Amino acid sequence: MEVIEIPIEKLKMAPWNPNKMDTKMQAYLKTSLTSFGLVQNLVVRPLGDGSYEVLSGNQRLSVLKEMGMKTAPCFVRELDDSHARLLTQALNRVQGEDDLGLKAESMKKILESLSQQEVMEILPDSFASLNALQTLNTDNIADRLMNWESNRHARLKHMGFQLTLDQQQVVQQALNLMTPKAKASNSESPNINGTALYLICKDFIENKGE
């Protein structure tokens, strides 16, 4: 199939193309086009009046116009409406997906020589997601599980109570009354409210519920 350089003013966006791109993603596209140039040709069909409708590359066309480009390389296909829409749907939707393990390998290679900042100007990844990818499959599972095990033992136990406003005021009053004792109790728990509740319960049990 022949690739033709077509003047930008002769290229018309297909208004029926449902593919959308927000301004943030368009900024990534612009950085990519500036850095690497247009490495993927547009796909268009002739409209019969000397202009062409863009079936694939509407977002690129928008950025190319913004960049002041005069022409764009296009694959030209003569298609009726139905087939034009079908091809557009196929180009929009029929694609592979990254295996995250292999993507992580690839990102590691990239980040060996490029900075995270540089990568994040081209790709819509956050620092957190890049870091997560960089550590993927590098963990020692034994260390992770042992770390998880010690963390869960260090974590104070959580008990949730749901109270009406009146009940909450009474409970808070009781906790406030016990707070000085809780502070003086040298409890292992750093949570004063928890210790105060524990002491109230302990008193209650020692007094056999009276």
Q: Footprint of another protein on this chain (CB under 8 A)? A: 97, 99-102, 104-105, 128-129, 132-133, 135-137, 139, 141-142, 144-146, 148-149, 152, 162
Q: Residue 174: helix, strand or coil by DSSP?
A: helix
Residue (8 or 125) nearer to another protein, CB? 125
Cβ proximity of 45 and 55 under 8 Å: yes
Element (H, E) at 152: helix 141-154
- Assigned token pair, 20: 């959308």
Q: How far apart are CA 61 and CA 80, in angstroms?
A: 22
Give me the least distance between CB of 90 and another protein, in Å please. Answer: 21
Ramachandran sector of residue 137 (left: φ over 0; alpha: ψ -120 to 50; beta: rest): left
Give me the least distance between CB of 135 and another protein, in Å please. Answer: 7
Residue (94 or 128) nearer to another protein, CB? 128
Give me the least distance between CB of 140 and another protein, in Å please. Answer: 9
The Cβ-side half-sphere exposure at 147, using a 13 Å CA radius, reads 6
Residue (114 or 145) nearer to another protein, CB? 145
- What torsion do the CA atoms of 81, 87, 92, 94 make, to the nearest 10 degrees? 150
Give me the least distance between CB of 97 and another protein, in Å please. Answer: 8
Cβ proximity of 64 and 8 under 8 Å: yes
Residue (132 or 199) nearer to another protein, CB? 132
Give me the least distance between CB of 113 and another protein, in Å please. Answer: 20
Residue (40 or 131) nearer to another protein, CB? 131
User: For 163-167, which contacts have Cβ atoms below 8 Å and span 24 or more sequence positions?
Assistant: none
